[in-house]
Chain A
Amino acid sequence: MTTGILVYAHNSRSLDYALMSLIAAGLAKKNLNVPVSLVTDPSTVEWMRESNILEKATSVFENLIIVERPITDNQRKLCDGKNESMVPFVNSNRASAYDLTPYNRTLLIDSDYFIFSNRLSEYWNIDDDVLIGQSINDIYSGDRLGYNDRYISEVGINLYWATTVMFSKTPRAKTFFDTVNFVKENYKHYADIFRFDNRQYRNDIAFSVAKHILDGFINLDSGRLPPVLTTLDKDILASVEDNKLTFLISTPLGEKYIPASITDTDIHIMNKQSIIRHGSQLLEMI
């Protein structure tokens, strides 16, 4: 059985997903010791060439899988510490992972999820066709998380985090990704049934709805990856030294920042701009 990691990167004018995916892939490859493939598009590859990371990318990625850049009108508010901006999110093609992956068992990760441990290695041989991050753990405390970080809506189902998804090439996994795609294509309909806000497409919601449907409309304990340790976008990655990442963590009301450091711990960094600011130091870690 072949195992590997899959990352998606479609650059936008605001964010250098190519760089982030390279860092995420390099760290994952180093710490999980499996190959990584990238799903990307021609313009993002061109940007890699312009920004002089293409050579590095071809050494880190086992495959560059070139697809059409998905058309999206998804705009989201993204913070960089206290600064806010609206940025496009070009990530609506995640359901294609089943068809595109070259591996029998795949770990699909977001490009802002950095793997510093081998914890997820324990899941390669779990007898589950599809596993998804079961929740997020805020690096500060649960106090900063909102209701919609736990459920897809006030009365709705649990929110799983597609930041980490592991799956096998099996009919059941194919059905799962087909269902994700069906939910995506009929997003408003499912928003009516599951009572979530449909104004912006969100992979986490589509994956959660698909899991809930295929689990028989109940919460199953199976099919879960560990909670995703997360720093929010109002937090700032302040320094990258040796093996240590230090963040300035915004307190719940945003009135001040407190420092927090991690080593050897997988981390989801929502403040993408602060990743890019430390791109060269992070690249040195891979």
Chain B
Amino acid sequence: MSFGYLLVVSEHESVDYLKLAYGLSLSIKNTQREGYDKVALVIDNKEKLLGLTSSWVFDHVIEWNQETFWDGRSWMDQLTPFDNTVCLDVDMLFTEDYSHWAEYFIENSELYIANKTYTYRGEVITGDYYRRTFTKNNLPNLYSLYTFFKKDSKLAEEFFELGRQIIKNPIEFSNLFLSEHKPKVVGTDEAFALAAKLLDITDVIAYPLEFPRIVHMKPMVQNWPWPADTWSDHVGFYLNRYGKLKIGNYQQNGIVHYVEKNKIDDEMINILEEIAWKK
């Protein structure tokens, strides 16, 4: 039974998503136990990998260009080469070994989606500034940025199929089921949450756990006393040469969803590469 992480990227006019996926993949290689450190990359053009120093961090590269980046993730169940997969957003970094989370999900779940995130100070995020669609329409608070599934699961198959239908028909589903607060874009989070609600499987795929522990750096939910456009205006982001990450005065030990895409610059990549090379 194979296990691995699936990352989906495609061309974007202003963000180099491959670079973010590269940083994430390096951090996975640097922190995860052998057997739990495999990464598959789905990319619209394999040629782009030629620009990377260590493209070996991607154990599988799948060229696929049928959908754009956002819609592409909803095909995760059909794209993965693994029996057990965690599909991740690429603007994240692993800071510690989470192999035991994967072991738990392989043993106990067919499908599990993160349903709780934390501030950089370790507080559970309760603010709904970015999630009015969820609270107004009584959707489960799902975060597709960490989605575990088994390839042979009927439950997962049904769920992802409905998720794709929602993403393909956003106006119809919004009018019918999200009328209390329609999102500007029906993204993967909204589609997955609505699919879980319609299939009535929230208790099965998003029951309370202390993990995955994901630090979500959207600025308006950091429990600050004032509004903020960008979190990096207020707290520093410090990756040391051992790959330990501090945000502000807090050591990070969860998966950090840093949101601001420019955080992974060449200096960060160099640090992560050096650790990977020495491992």
Note all chain A residues with C-beta closer than 8 A to B137: none
| Interface segment, one of A32-40, A212-220, A228-236, A242-250 | A212-220
Note all chain B residues with C-beta closer than 8 A to A259: none
Number of interface residues of A (CB under 8 A): 14
Contact B248 A155 (CB under 8 A): yes
Q: Which of B97-140 contact A (CB under 8 A)?
A: 121-122
| Interface segment, one of B30-38, B151-159, B199-207, B249-257 | B249-257
Residue in B122, B225, B246, B248 whose CB lies within 8 Å of A219: B122
Q: Does B277 have its Cβ within 8 Å of any Cβ on chain A?
A: no
Also in contact, A218 and B224, with CB within 8 A (given A155-B234, A155-B235, A157-B121): no
Residue in A147, A154, A194 whose CB lies within 8 Å of B249: A194
- Please report the C-alpha to C-alpha distance between residue A280 and residue B122 in the assembled complex, in whole angstroms: 46
Interface centre among B122, B222, B248, B253 (most CB of A within 10 A): B248
Minimum CB–CB distance for B278 against chain A, Å: 24
- Please report the C-alpha to C-alpha distance between residue A221 and residue B248 in the assembled complex, in whole angstroms: 20
- Please report the C-alpha to C-alpha distance between residue A256 and residue B43 in the assembled complex, in whole angstroms: 65
Give the bracket for the number of chain B residues in contact with chain A: 10 to 19
Note all chain A residues with C-beta closer than 8 A to B253: 218
- Please report the C-alpha to C-alpha distance between residue A175 and residue B222 in the assembled complex, in whole angstroms: 32
Note all chain B residues with C-beta closer than 8 A to A253: none
Minimum CB–CB distance for A108 against chain B, Å: 25
Contact B122 A218 (CB under 8 A): yes
Q: Does A156 have its Cβ within 8 Å of any Cβ on chain B?
A: yes
Q: Does B226 have its Cβ within 8 Å of any Cβ on chain A?
A: yes
Also in contact, A156 and B224, with CB within 8 A (given A218-B122, A219-B121, A219-B122): no
Note all chain B residues with C-beta closer than 8 A to A157: 121, 249-250
Minimum CB–CB distance for B124 against chain A, Å: 12
- Please report the C-alpha to C-alpha distance between residue A194 and residue B249 in the assembled complex, in whole angstroms: 7
Note all chain B residues with C-beta closer than 8 A to A1: none
- Please report the C-alpha to C-alpha distance between residue A64 and residue B18 in the assembled complex, in whole angstroms: 68
Q: Does A71 have its Cβ within 8 Å of any Cβ on chain B?
A: no
Minimum CB–CB distance for B18 against chain A, Å: 32
Q: Does A193 have its Cβ within 8 Å of any Cβ on chain B?
A: yes
Contact A154 B224 (CB under 8 A): yes
Contact A154 B225 (CB under 8 A): yes
- Please report the C-alpha to C-alpha distance between residue A276 and residue B224 in the assembled complex, in whole angstroms: 38
Contact A156 B122 (CB under 8 A): no
Mark contacts of B206-238 with chain A using CB atoms, 8 A cut-off: 1 yes-contact digit, 0 otherwise: 000000000000000010111000000011000
Note all chain B residues with C-beta closer than 8 A to A156: 248-249
Also in contact, A218 and B250, with CB within 8 A (given A155-B234, A155-B235, A157-B121): yes
Mark contacts of B129-172 with chain A using CB atoms, 8 A cut-off: 1 yes-contact digit, 0 otherwise: 00000000000000000000000000000000000000000000
- Please report the C-alpha to C-alpha distance between residue A158 and residue B249 in the assembled complex, in whole angstroms: 11
Note all chain A residues with C-beta closer than 8 A to B251: 216-218
Minimum CB–CB distance for B150 against chain A, Å: 33
Contact B224 A217 (CB under 8 A): no
Note all chain A residues with C-beta closer than 8 A to B226: 154
Contact B249 A217 (CB under 8 A): yes
Minimum CB–CB distance for A173 against chain B, Å: 22
Note all chain B residues with C-beta closer than 8 A to A154: 224-226, 234
Mark contacts of A200-212 with chain B using CB atoms, 8 A cut-off: 1 yes-contact digit, 0 otherwise: 0000000000001
- Please report the C-alpha to C-alpha distance between residue A156 and residue B121 in the assembled complex, in whole angstroms: 8
Minimum CB–CB distance for A238 against chain B, Å: 33
- Please report the C-alpha to C-alpha distance between residue A155 and residue B121 in the assembled complex, in whole angstroms: 9
Note all chain B residues with C-beta closer than 8 A to A216: 251
Note all chain A residues with C-beta closer than 8 A to B249: 156-157, 193-195, 212, 217
Q: Which of A168-216 contact B (CB under 8 A)?
A: 193-195, 212, 216
Minimum CB–CB distance for B218 against chain A, Å: 15
Minimum CB–CB distance for A186 against chain B, Å: 15
Q: In this complex, what residue of B is CB-closest to A147?
A: B225
Mark contacts of A14-36 with chain B using CB atoms, 8 A cut-off: 1 yes-contact digit, 0 otherwise: 00000000000000000000000
Mark contacts of A110-144 with chain B using CB atoms, 8 A cut-off: 1 yes-contact digit, 0 otherwise: 00000000000000000000000000000000000
Note all chain A residues with C-beta closer than 8 A to B248: 155-156
Q: In this complex, what residue of A is CB-closest to B225?
A: A147
Q: Which of A143-172 contact B (CB under 8 A)?
A: 147, 154-158
Interface centre among A154, A194, A195 (most CB of B within 10 A): A154
Minimum CB–CB distance for B258 against chain A, Å: 16
6 contacts between A and B (CB under 8 A): A154-B226, A155-B222, A156-B249, A157-B249, A194-B249, A195-B249
In the A-B complex, the 4 residue pairs with the closest CB atoms: A217-B251, A147-B225, A219-B122, A155-B234
